[in-house]
Amino acid sequence: MTTAIIALGLLYFAGHLLTHVFDKTKIPDVLILILFGIIIGPVFHFVDAERFGSAGDLLTSIALIIILFDGGVGLQLTSLIRSAKQALALTGGFFFVTAGIVFCIMYKGYGYSPLASAIMGFICGGTASSVIIPMIGILRVGKEAASILIIESALTTVLCIITVLGILRSYDSGDFEIGRIIGSLISSVILASIIGVVSGLIWLRLLRWIKTYSNTQFATFAFMFIVYGIAEGLDFSGPIAALAFGIVLGNQHTIVHQLNEITSHLSIENVGVISDAEKKLYKEIVFLLKIFFFVYLGISIPIEQTYTMGIALSIVMALFAIRPFVTKLIVRRRVSPYDNTMISLMVPKGLATAVLAGLPSQYGMVEGPDIQAIAYNVILFSIIITSVLIPIINNTPIKKGFFHFFSNTQGNVVENNKTTTPLHKQ
C-alpha cells in the first residue's frame, strides 16, 4: 500500500515533466504514460487490470466526460460555427472510409466473416477525444482545426456506438433494419445536444445562487455528471451532451447576450460566471485524470497474441496512409498547412473502441475474442504511431513535404505552427 501511494505521488510529478517534454520535443506524454502502463501491467505483471474491477471502468467514463467537457469549454462559438461544415464532412467521410478499409483488410486479407469484418470496421471508425483534446492544446493548432478535431472525435464516438450496437442487435434478433440505425443515430446526436444546451442554460441561471454557498467549486462537475446520466438514461449520447454543456459554459457571454434579446431572465447581470480560477481547477482535474487514464489504458492492453497484433498493425498503417488524402479533400478553407498536417495525423483510437470491442463476445459471436484482441492492439498502435509521427514530422524536413501537399488545398497558404492561433494559451 505504501509503495502504491508513493507511486501515485511520483506519477503526478512525472506527468508535469512529461508535459514539459511534450511542449519542447512534441513527443506526446500520452505515449510514455501508456508504455509505462504496459510495462507495469502486461509485461511484468506488477498490476493487473482486473484488480481495478468496476473502478477502472468508472475511471475511464469519468475521464471521457470531463475531457470532453473541458474541450467544449475551450471552444469558441464563432470558430465552431465556421468549422462545423468541414467537421461534419470529415467525421462522415473518414468514418466510412475507415470502416470500408478495415472491412476489406479483415474480410479479403485475413478471411474473417463479413459480419465480423463490418463490426471491426465500425469499431475502428472513431477517433479518441481522450487522446486528441489533451494533444491539440500543446500542439498549438488553430482554433478552427481544434474545433474540427474535437467535433470529429465526439461525433465519431456516437457513430461507432450506434452502428456497432445496431448491427449486433440485428444479429441477435435476425432482423436488420438500416432505417432504425440511422434514426437512432440522428435522434441520439440531436437530442443529446439539446439536453446539453438546455442544461447549460439552466446551470448558468442557477450558478449565481449556487455560488452564495461555500465549497461549490465542484458543483459544475456534479451537475455535468447528472446531465450525462440523464442523456445516457434516455438512450442518447452522454458524451455529446457533456460536450454541448461545456460549449454553453465556455461561451456564456456570447450566448447570454443573444438570448437576452429574447428574454430578460438570461442577462449578464443575473447569471453565474465560470471564473478563471474555476477553469484552472478544471484543467488541473483533467491533467490528473489524463495521467491515470492512460496508465490504466496501458495496463489493460493485451500484448500476448502476435497474430492479432499483426492484423492490428496492418489496419493502423492503412488508416494513416489514407488520412492525409481524406483531409486534403475535405478540409479546404481557412486551415493552414500546419493545421492540416496535424489533422491528418490524428487517428488515435481510445475508450469507445475499447468498450465496443468486448460486445461481440457478449452477443455470442465466435470471432468475438479475436475482434477484442485486434481492437485493443489497434488502440495501442494508433496512439504509438500518432505519438511518434508528430515529433518526426515537426522536427525533420518531412514537414516541408506535408506543407507542400496541403499548400495546394484551396484557400490555404504555407504557414508554420507559429502563425496559427492556439486553442489554449500555454
- On whether residue 417 sits in a domain, the answer given is no
Higher pLDDT pick, 273 / 7: 7
User: What amino acid is encoded at 365 in this protein?
Assistant: M
What does the pLDDT read at residue 326?
94
189: confidence class by pLDDT, cuts 50, 70, 90: confident
- On whether residue 415 sits in a domain, the answer given is no
Whether pLDDT at 6 is above 80? yes
d(CA 414, CA 407): 6
Exposed e or buried b for every residue in 275-289, given b needs 16+ CB within 10 A? eeebbeebeebbbbb
Domain span at 143: 11-18+26-407
d(CA 166, CA 173): 11
- On whether residue 247 sits in a domain, the answer given is yes
- On whether residue 421 sits in a domain, the answer given is no
Whether pLDDT at 373 is above 70? yes
What does the pLDDT read at residue 223?
94
**52-78: pLDDT as tens digits:** 766 777 877 787 788 788 878 877 887
CATH number at residue 33: 1.20.1530.20
d(CA 87, CA 13): 36
- On whether residue 31 sits in a domain, the answer given is yes
194: confidence class by pLDDT, cuts 50, 70, 90: very high
d(CA 366, CA 60): 27
412: confidence class by pLDDT, cuts 50, 70, 90: low
**299-316: pLDDT as tens digits:** 877 777 788 999 999 999
Whether pLDDT at 419 is above 50? no
CB atoms within 10 A of CB 51: 9
408: confidence class by pLDDT, cuts 50, 70, 90: low
- On whether residue 4 sits in a domain, the answer given is no
- On whether residue 240 sits in a domain, the answer given is yes
What does the pLDDT read at residue 26?
67
In the chain, how many domains are there? 1
Q: What is the C-alpha radius of gyration for the chain, rounded to an integer number of angstroms?
A: 21
Which DSSP string do the residues of 193-237 spell out, in sequence order?
A: HHHHHHHHHHHHHHHHHHTTSSS-TTHHHHHHHHHHHHHHHTTS-
- On whether residue 424 sits in a domain, the answer given is no
**111-162: pLDDT as tens digits:** 999 999 999 999 999 898 878 888 887 788 888 899 999 999 888 888 888 8
What does the pLDDT read at residue 204?
86
What does the pLDDT read at residue 424?
43
264: confidence class by pLDDT, cuts 50, 70, 90: low
What does the pLDDT read at residue 212?
83
**88-114: pLDDT as tens digits:** 899 999 999 999 999 999 999 999 999
> Scanning the structure block, which residue is given the C-alpha cell 488502440?
379
pTM for the predicted model, two decimal places = 0.77
Mean pLDDT (the chain) is 83
